[in-house]
Amino acid sequence: MKISLTQKLDENDWNPSTARHLLNRAGFGGPRSLIEKLESMGFKRAVLYLTHPERVTDNIQEPDWLVESESFREMRSQFKDLDKDQCKKRRRMIRYEQRQTVERLKSWWLKQSLVTTRPLQEKMAHFWHGHFATSARKVKSSRMNYDLNRVFRKHGLGNFKTLVTQVSQSPAMLQYLDNRKNKKGHPNENFSRELMELFMLGIGNYTEQDVQEAARAFTGWTIRDGTFQENSRQHDTGSKTFMGRTGNFDGYEIIDILCKQEAMIRFIAHKLWDYFVYDNPNEETINALVFHFKRSQFKISSLLQTIFLSSEFYSDRAMHRNIKSPVQLMINLVDQLQVNTEDTRDKLISMAMRGMGQDLFYPPNVKGWPGNRAWINSNTLLTRYNLPSYFLYGETGKKRKDNPKRRNNAPFRDEPFFEKYAGRPAGEVVDALVDHFIGRPLDHGQRRLLLEAIHPQASESLVLPEGSKSAKRLTGVVHLILSTAEYQLC
């Protein structure tokens, strides 16, 4: 089927469902007040609102507790009067402080993603974190990890060439892919290879000679005192032949040549479509994406605006088809259950994220996370279904009849949450809860099970009383909703 990206969604089809879909993909699906705000804006204004975050006041809380990278001179001063054992102890302490700070950084980023006033900007930071993957297993500095995170946030919707340059010069990337060791006469090919294979072109669109010559061009791009430095003494100034061109290329010129390759445009456009819309688009769609990406001079926000305005983005093939990432699932649970983040335990949240396969700042390898269907396997699915139990019932993950205080450690506060449902018919309450958590109706059999969870003989018109007994039954209904396959999709 031929797809035209110029065919926009009809304004008459803009409704709570399509507004929610836009925020699911261009953000994290909430809060509900923002869905309602987007719906009231109208279709085109809503897309512009999300794709131009610079027009919205940023509410990011910069972390002021990072462990700063110390210079070689500072490190030497610290160690000069220590014996061998004291040096080992000091190094262990520094590594421990860095690990703990990176753990704190993970919680900080999740909470920032939850409360952000710029959802697409934050969603793109997560996207680029998986695309330009570096891991704190090797890059142990919390400052370096955060600085790369800030690059994704600052440039993630801007010009792609600028983004690649900034990423390539980030101390985290220089350390992770060993370009700090890339010196004249002893080129290290790790960075140049991944720059082409994973970051810009894809497999089959470059040669081994291209890798070798690009590595020579990037010699001298290194780190000094925790910041990027061009060391001219270590730069290979000899002639290089790269992508059919010959010259005394440096790293900037290599990136410039790569950005002019048709393979680069197709590779990035394809990956953005896969992430935001659906996998395996047809050739006509990719060609249309390439046209729009070129026309925008590689401005990422412009390409995403074209995608979000297209009717295909709201098609049956696109809506409710993507599996929520662990980040999005976690954010949805905290937001929809109206959980105070102070009531959650960062260590347990971090364990759950690892259990679901997305440990922030620790991607599995340089390829990042495969995403979508790869999020689901027998191990991660178990964690996904156990996670709601923690929020609803506390750390035990189950209801204990012998302990009347069983809910005291649960982040979810049931009675305040269900207060507005008192005095309403059971059928109406079930539909309202399904809409709140999923945004579309469940089938008749599933809906019947939810009614029976309120009362075995529950009728549509059964009026729910106030109080803890009603709240307890409705908590069971919510648990069933969160256990459906539909809740895993967005």
The pairing of strands 245-247 and 221-224 is unpaired
Contact 399, 435 (CB under 8 A): no
The pLDDT of residue 203 is 96
pTM: 0.94
Q: What are phi and psi of 230, to 5 degrees?
A: -95, 105
Contact 308, 51 (CB under 8 A): yes
Alpha-carbon distance of 92 to 94, in angstroms, equals 5
Q: What are phi and psi of 199, to 5 degrees?
A: -100, -30
Mean pLDDT over 425-446 rounds to: 96
Alpha-carbon distance of 106 to 120, in angstroms, equals 19
Alpha-carbon distance of 103 to 106, in angstroms, equals 5
Contact 134, 172 (CB under 8 A): yes
Q: What pLDDT, in 10s, does the model give residues 75-93?
A: 667 777 778 787 788 778 8
- Joined together, the tokens standing for residue 254 give 């290599």
Contact 25, 310 (CB under 8 A): no
- Joined together, the tokens standing for residue 18 give 């399509």
Alpha-carbon distance of 471 to 392, in angstroms, equals 11
Please say if the pLDDT value at position 366 is more than 50: yes
Under the banding of pLDDT at 50, 70 and 90, the label for residue 413 is very high
- Joined together, the tokens standing for residue 5 give 């990206």
Q: What pLDDT, in 10s, does the model give residues 375-399?
A: 999 999 999 999 999 999 997 544 4
Q: What pLDDT, in 10s, does the model give residues 289-308?
A: 999 999 999 999 999 999 99
The pLDDT of residue 402 is 46
Alpha-carbon distance of 398 to 395, in angstroms, equals 8
Mean pLDDT over 20-31 rounds to: 96
Helix (H) or strand (E) holding 379: helix 378-393
The pLDDT of residue 71 is 63
∠ CA 202-357-103, rounded to 5°: 105
Mean pLDDT over 441-470 rounds to: 89
The pLDDT of residue 396 is 56
Under the banding of pLDDT at 50, 70 and 90, the label for residue 1 is low
Burial class (CB in 10 A: 0-12, 13-18, 19+), 301: buried
Residue 228 is classified by DSSP as E
Q: What pLDDT, in 10s, does the model give residues 310-358?
A: 999 999 999 999 999 999 999 999 999 999 887 778 888 999 999 999 9
Q: What pLDDT, in 10s, does the model give residues 155-176?
A: 999 999 999 999 999 999 999 9
Mean pLDDT over 178-188 rounds to: 97
Please say if the pLDDT value at position 213 is more than 80: yes
Q: What pLDDT, in 10s, does the model give residues 101-121?
A: 999 999 999 999 999 999 999
Residues whose CB is less than 8 angstroms from the CB of residue 318 and which lie 6 or more positions away in sequence, other chains included: 21, 277, 278, 312
The pLDDT of residue 405 is 45
Q: What is the dihedral of CA 30, 34, 36, 37, to 10 degrees?
A: -160
Under the banding of pLDDT at 50, 70 and 90, the label for residue 466 is confident
Alpha-carbon distance of 219 to 181, in angstroms, equals 8
Q: What is the residue extent of each domain of the chain?
A: 177-257, 326-393, 414-488
Q: Taking Cα atoms as reference points, which of 103, 66, 104, 106 lies closest to residue 360?
A: 106
- Joined together, the tokens standing for residue 363 give 């991607």
pLDDT above 90 covers a percentage of the chain that reads 83
